[in-house]
């Protein structure tokens, strides 16, 4: 039995060929497919149908779907609800949909197997965040023992915070989270972390701005920072390296076991 068996997926928007093929493949895993439009999404619909994932066709986006995404972020649901968005493989389109709080994006050229694998990860099959690889761009070390490594995480996505907290607790790492770039620096100074994990897409202040402030602060500049990104762009990697990041991980295929090992290695 797959982790997808008996799950409920809500498809929002037009059903193109890619989504149709994905629906048929998901049904083969025992997934129940529900369909609706952006203006019909409500907390009642989600709860009554026990929706586990929302898949939004955002190729022909409009204000109604943008409003729907904003509304979903504010709903008081009984469980975390990851949202996947199908979006054009264009930089500004991807940035816009990530800023709206989706867990991951899908491009028109992405194959069905890859999308299903991302969904499996959400429900715990494999030990990944959700799709690419970790790249060590600046090896940084300090003198801290690996026992009780203090980890400060700046991440606004509740699903990723949940996955991270489970793994950090399992590894006996004291940790603290911030979901907003504006308050992160002051909180870091109070927490005194050994390692910082930093998202790039944050409300209030970008991850690059936070990273620049960390490396300009006398109390924080020597703490290794692992950058997280939903995108695998060379420009982001270059900029993170120039600002002093210890590593750059693409969330979609980040292995949590590997992440813990990286934290231990850079905190030695």
The model's pLDDT over 172-184, given as tens digits with 9 standing for 90+, comes to 899 999 988 888 9
What's the pLDDT at 129? Answer: 45
Alpha helices, DSSP H, located in the chain: 17-28, 43-48, 63-74, 91-99, 112-122, 158-170, 184-191, 207-216, 234-243, 256-266
What's the pLDDT at 143? Answer: 39
- For the whole prediction, is pTM greater than 0.85? no
Residue 40 carries which DSSP code?
Answer: G
* Domains of the chain, start order: 8-122 (3.40.50.2300), 134-266 (3.40.50.2300)
Percent of the chain whose predicted confidence (pLDDT) is above 70: 85
What's the pLDDT at 61? Answer: 59
What's the pLDDT at 156? Answer: 81
For the segment 109-150, what is each residue's pLDDT rounded down to a tens digit?
A: 888 988 888 788 777 665 444 433 333 333 333 334 445 899
Q: Which helix (H) or strand (E) holds 228?
A: strand 225-229
Positions of the chain with pLDDT lower than 70, given as ranges: 61-62, 75-80, 124-147, 158-159, 232, 252-253
Q: What are phi and psi of 146, to 5 degrees?
A: -75, -15
């Amino acid at each position: 039995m797959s982790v997808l068996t008996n799950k409920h997926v809500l498809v929002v928007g037009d059903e193109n060929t890619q989504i149709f093929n994905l629906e048929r493949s998901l049904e083969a895993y025992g997934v129940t497919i529900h369909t609706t439009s952006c203006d019909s999404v409500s907390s009642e619909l989600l709860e009554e149908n026990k929706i586990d994932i929302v898949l939004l066709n955002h190729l022909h986006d409009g204000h109604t779907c943008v409003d729907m995404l904003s509304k979903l972020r504010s709903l008081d649901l009984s469980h975390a609800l990851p949202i996947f968005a199908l979006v054009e493989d264009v930089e500004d389109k991807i940035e816009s949909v990530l800023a709206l709080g989706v867990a991951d994006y899908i491009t028109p050229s992405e194959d069905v197997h890859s999308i299903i694998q991302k969904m499996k990860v959400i429900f715990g099959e494999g030990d990944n965040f959700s799709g690419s690889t970790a790249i060590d761009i600046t090896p940084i070390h300090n003198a801290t023992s690996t026992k009780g490594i203090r980890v400060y995480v700046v991440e606004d996505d509740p699903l990723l915070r949940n996955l991270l907290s489970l793994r950090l607790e399992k590894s006996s790492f004291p940790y603290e989270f911030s979901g907003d770039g504006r308050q992160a620096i002051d909180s870091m100074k109070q927490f005194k972390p050994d390692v910082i994990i930093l998202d790039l897409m944050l409300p209030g202040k970008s991850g690059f701005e936070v990273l620049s402030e960390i490396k300009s602060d006398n109390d924080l500049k020597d703490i290794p920072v692992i950058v997280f990104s939903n995108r695998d762009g060379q420009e982001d990697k270059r900029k993170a390296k120039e600002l002093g990041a210890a590593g750059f991980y693409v969330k979609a295929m980040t292995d949590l076991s590997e992440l813990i090992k990286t934290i231990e290695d850079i905190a030695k």
